[in-house]
A and B are shown apart, each in its own frame.
Chain A
Amino acid sequence: MAKVQPAIISSGFSEHASKRSDVNMAELVNEAVENCIQMANIDWKDIDFVINGNMPAFEGANMPELWMGDHIAAKNKPMLRVTTGGTTGGSVTIAGYYAVASGLYETVLAIGFEQQSCGDTAIGLASVALGEVTIYPDVGYDFARMRSNLGAGAAIGVASYQAMNYMARSKATEEDLARVVVQNRRNAAKTWWTHLKMPTITIEDVLDTPYISYPLRFGMVCPATDGACAILYTTEEKARQIADIPVYVNGVASVANEPAILAPNMGGAGQVDPCEQLGAMKSAELAYGQAGISFPNKEIDYVEVYSPFPNQELMWVERLGLFEENMAPEAYRNGITAWNGELPVNCSGGVNSTNAIGASAMERPAEAALQIMGKASNQVPKTVHTAMGHGWGGAINFITHVVMSDEPQRKWR
C-alpha cells in the first residue's frame, strides 16, 4: 500500500513586536493564518485538520485554542494541541508532518504562537522547576542559597553553563560570540517580521554592555516577543497542483535527553557536560537517515538553528553534523556562514533577534521552507535545494529537527 509524502506549500507570519497591545491572542494568530492561506492560494474550507501549540504559562490561559476556533479556520474541524516548552513550534511542525503521513488527513494547518506581554515572563520560566524545588527547604536547603545556586545565570538560566563549557572546549573568545550576534541582527534587519532590527551594529557595540552572567553580556541576549507563525501541509499530489515549488519534508526527529542542573525527586542531574547534547546528535542521525543524507556539510544548502544565545549557535552547527568539533568559530571568522557564504546560517535573524517562545521553533523550518521556495525576504543568492530547521528547549533536554528538500527522497523503513 502506498505511503503518503507530506509537503509544505506555504508558511505565514504575523508582525512580531515586544508588546502587541493592539490585538488579542485570537487576532494575533489570525494574522499569521491569513498570511499563510493567502500565499498558498487555497480556500480555508479545504483545511482538514488544525494543530496548535504555545507555552501556556505566559498567557495564563489553559488550552486557548478552544475559544480561538473561529479565528483559526477550525470551526467544526478536528483539532489537536501539542506543547513541549521551548520546542513547541517544532513539535507542532512534526505533528503536522505525521498527520499527513498517516494518510488520514489531507490538508493540515500547524500553528505556533505566543503573546508574552500578557503575563510575566520571569515567573513563567522559573516555574519550570517549581514542582522540584518546593521540597528543598524541608531538607535544609534554605531559600537564600537556593536563589544563589539555582538562579545562577539570572534570567538566562542554563545557557551560561553551556557557554562556559563550550568556551573551555573550543577556546572561543567573547569576540567570536559578538560576531555571531552582529551577523544575526544585521540579517534580521532585512526580514519583514522580526523584532530587533539593527542594520549597523558592530562587535564593539555588543562588547560594550555589562555582563548578565559570565560569559554572556546584555547585548548578546534574545528579546521577549509577541508573535505567531503558521505552516500549511498537504500531500504530494495536491502540492504539485497548487504550489510552484513544493517543499517535501523528508526527515523528522525529536529525541529527548535527561534534564540538566536539576532532576526529579532531588536526584543528581544526568547531563554532566551541558554542551555535549547527545539528544541533538541522535536526532540529527535519525533525521538525516530518514532523508537519505550522508554528508550533511556537502548536501545541505541552508541551515536555521535555534540559538537565543550566540554560544549555542556555534555549538549546534557542530553537534548537528555540519562542522567538526571546535571548528565553528573559525568558520564564522572566514565568512562561510554569512548570507553569501557556502553554508548560510540563520539569514532570518534567528532566535537571537526574535523570540516568541511558542512560535520560534516553528519559524526555523518555516523560513527554511521559504528559502527553498524562493520567497523569503532575505533570500540567499545561491539556489537552495535542501534545508533544515532545528529547535531546542525544555530543561535543556528537548530537541526537534526537520529536514526538507525540493525532491521527495523518503526512505521507507
Chain B
Amino acid sequence: MEKVGIVGYYQVKPDLDAMMSPPEMIFNAVRGALDSAGLKRKDISTVIGCTNDYYDGKTISNAFKVDAGGAYMKDESKVEFDGAHAALYGVFRILSGNHKLAMIYGYSMPSCFNYEAVRILELDPTFDRTVSLLNSYSAGGMQMRAYMKKFNVSLEDIAKVAVNSIKNAAKNPSALPEAQRSDISVGDVLESEILCSPLRKLMYPILCDGTAAIILAPEKQSLKITDNPVWITGVGNCQDTYYLGERDLSISTSMEIAANKAYKIAGINDPKKEIDIAEIFGHTTCEDLILAEAAGLCEKGNGTSLLDGGPALNPSGGTMSGLTPCVCGLTRIIEAVKQLRGEATGYQISGAKKAVATGQVGFCAQNNILYVLEGGGN
C-alpha cells in the first residue's frame, strides 16, 4: 500500500456543554485544520463527515452542514460509524488516485441528548430491545467480570491502569477540564460509585461535546505541503458477531484480525518491540487492556504490564480525557500524530517513531479498526 500522509489537524477543546451551534463548531475545526496546514478551501478535493442521525436528532444530519464542512460544490460523503471509519473512507479515496486532498471531520454533542437512552436503538429490536437490560454499563460490567475471571486479574490492578490514564489526562491540555485530576489514587477509584458490578465510575469516561478534523494527502503531495507529515502505513478493520453470548468477552477476535491485517500491510513483525505509542479507544479501562492485548502489544492477560514497559498506553489519557461519540477515533489518531511530530507539550514521550491508533463502534467493541502510523524525525 502506498503511504498516505496526515498533513494537518485540529481539535476543538471539549466542553461539557458547549455554547456553540453545530455548524459553528464544525467550522472552527475545519478552518483550524486548514490554517494549521497553510491550505485554502479551494485546495480541498473531497470531504468525508462522520455524524449520526440519532445522536443529532434529525435525519440526514449532514445535509445542513455542507457549508460549514467546506464541502460546497465538492465531492462529499458521510459515514455513520466512528471518526476512524471516516478516515478509512478518506484513505480509500486518496489511494484510488482520484483525489489529492481529503478533509475528514467528526461531530456530535452529547449535551443535547441522553447518550445511554439513545444507545438502546443499537440493539436488535426483537429480543435485546424488548428486554432492555443491555446498555453500556451492563455490557462493560460483564466484559470486566469475564476478563478478571479468566486471567486472574484483580480489581486493584485495573484500578492502577485507570489512575495512570486519569493522571495522563491531567497533563493533556486538550482534555476535558472536569476529567483532569492529578491527585487521584487507587483508593479513590475503588471507592467510587458502582455502575454495574464490578465496573466503577472512575473507570468509565465522561461524555463531552467536541469536534475534530484531519487532512489527508497522497505521498508526493504531503511532502509539498509540510516538512513533517505523519504516514499511515497500515490499516485493518473487522466486525465481530453481535450477540454477547456468542463471543468470548475476555478477548477480542475482531481486534486480532484487524491488527494482523494492519501489521502485515505495514511490515511490522513484533509489535511489542516496534511500537512506541498505543492510543486505544476502549469504552472502559478494562476494554483498553483487552484491546491492547488483542492488538499484540503484550501477552494475553498481562495488560497491566504496559504500565512498566513496552509501548506507552494512552499517554493522552485515552477515553478518560473525555469521550465524544463519532469523534473519539479521530481524537486518538490526532493524539498519536501529536506524539510523532513532537507537538505534545507536557506529555511528550521522547523518541517516538511508530504508533498505533484504534477506533470502535458497537457494544463491547464489536467493530474495530486499527491504524499504524509512522513519524518523521523526532
Q: Which of B91, B118, B242 has most chain A Cβ within 10 Å?
A: B242
Task: List A residues 104-131 near B (Cβ within 8 Å).
Answer: 104, 124-125, 127-131
Q: A98-B98, A255-B76 are in contact. List 4 more A-B contacts (CB 8 A).
A: A3-B97, A79-B237, A125-B59, A254-B76
Q: How far is the CB of A111 from chain B (nearest CB, A)?
A: 14
Quick check: A69 and B64 within 8 Å, CB to CB?
no
Q: Which of B23, B81, B241, B242 is in CB contact (< 8 Å) with A265?
A: B23
Produce 1/0 per residue, B350-367, CB < 8 A to A.
Answer: 000000000001110011
B184 at the interface (CB under 8 A from A): no
A338 at the interface (CB under 8 A from B): no
B21 contacts which chain A residues (CB < 8 A)? 264-265
Produce 1/0 per residue, B236-249, CB < 8 A to A.
Answer: 11111110000000
Q: Which of A127, A254, A257, A263 is in CB contact (< 8 Å) with B59?
A: A127
Produce 1/0 per residue, B216-239, CB < 8 A to A.
Answer: 000000000000000000011111
> How many Å lie between the Cα of A187 and that of B46 in the bound state?
37
Q: Which of A74, A95, A282 is in CB contact (< 8 Å) with B77?
A: A95
Nearest-CB residue, chain A, relative to B363: A66
Contacts A3-B97, A95-B89 hold; do A128 and B361 have CB atoms under 8 A apart? no
B126 at the interface (CB under 8 A from A): yes
Q: How far is the CB of B25 from chain A (nearest CB, A)?
A: 12
Quick check: B73 and A279 within 8 Å, CB to CB?
yes
Contacts A63-B122, A79-B239 hold; do A84 and B66 have CB atoms under 8 A apart? no
Task: List A residues 73-100 near B (Cβ within 8 Å).
Answer: 74-86, 91, 94-95, 97-99
Quick check: A264 and B65 within 8 Å, CB to CB?
yes
Q: 7 A-B Cβ contacts within 8 A? A: A55-B60, A66-B363, A76-B238, A77-B239, A103-B1, A128-B60, A130-B59
A24 at the interface (CB under 8 A from B): yes
> How many Å lie between the Cα of A83 and that of B50 in the bound state?
10
> How many Å lie between the Cα of A23 and that of B251 in the bound state?
34
Q: Which of A76, A102, A252, A279 is in CB contact (< 8 Å) with B257?
A: A76
Question: Which stretch, A237-245, A339-347, A391-399, touches the partner chain B?
Answer: A391-399
Contacts A131-B58, A395-B60 hold; do A67 and B73 have CB atoms under 8 A apart? no
Q: Which of A61, A255, A413 is in CB contact (< 8 Å) with B98?
A: A413
Q: Which of B2, B67, B80, B236 is in CB contact (< 8 Å) with A81?
A: B80
B88 at the interface (CB under 8 A from A): yes
A127 contacts which chain B residues (CB < 8 A)? 58-59
Quick check: A67 and B80 within 8 Å, CB to CB?
no
> How many Å lie between the Cα of A413 and that of B75 in the bound state?
16
Q: How far is the CB of B242 from chain A (nearest CB, A)?
A: 4
Contacts A62-B122, A290-B98 hold; do A82 and B89 have CB atoms under 8 A apart? yes
Give A contacts to B, CB under 8 Å: 1, 3-4, 24, 55-57, 60-63, 66-67, 69-70, 74-86, 91, 94-95, 97-99, 101-104, 124-125, 127-132, 252-259, 263-265, 270, 278-279, 282, 286, 290, 393-395, 397-398, 412-413
Quick check: B57 and A131 within 8 Å, CB to CB?
yes
Produce 1/0 per residue, B285-312, CB < 8 A to A.
Answer: 0000000000000000000000000000
Give B contacts to A, CB under 8 Å: 1-2, 21-23, 52-54, 56-60, 62-68, 71-81, 85, 88-89, 91-98, 118-119, 121-126, 235-242, 253-254, 257-258, 265, 361-363, 366-367
> How many Å lie between the Cα of A332 and that of B235 in the bound state?
50
Quick check: A85 and B77 within 8 Å, CB to CB?
no
> How many Å lie between the Cα of A56 and that of B77 in the bound state?
16
Nearest-CB residue, chain A, relative to B55: A62
Nearest-CB residue, chain A, relative to B52: A62
B23 contacts which chain A residues (CB < 8 A)? 264-265
Quick check: B239 and A84 within 8 Å, CB to CB?
no
Q: Which of B1, B81, B119, B361 has most chain A Cβ within 10 Å?
A: B81
Quick check: B76 and A256 within 8 Å, CB to CB?
yes
Quick check: B66 and A257 within 8 Å, CB to CB?
yes
A104 contacts which chain B residues (CB < 8 A)? 1, 91-92, 95, 235, 265
B242 contacts which chain A residues (CB < 8 A)? 66-67, 69-70
Q: Which of B22, B53, B68, B72 is in CB contact (< 8 Å) with A56?
A: B53
A62 contacts which chain B residues (CB < 8 A)? 52-54, 118-119, 121-122
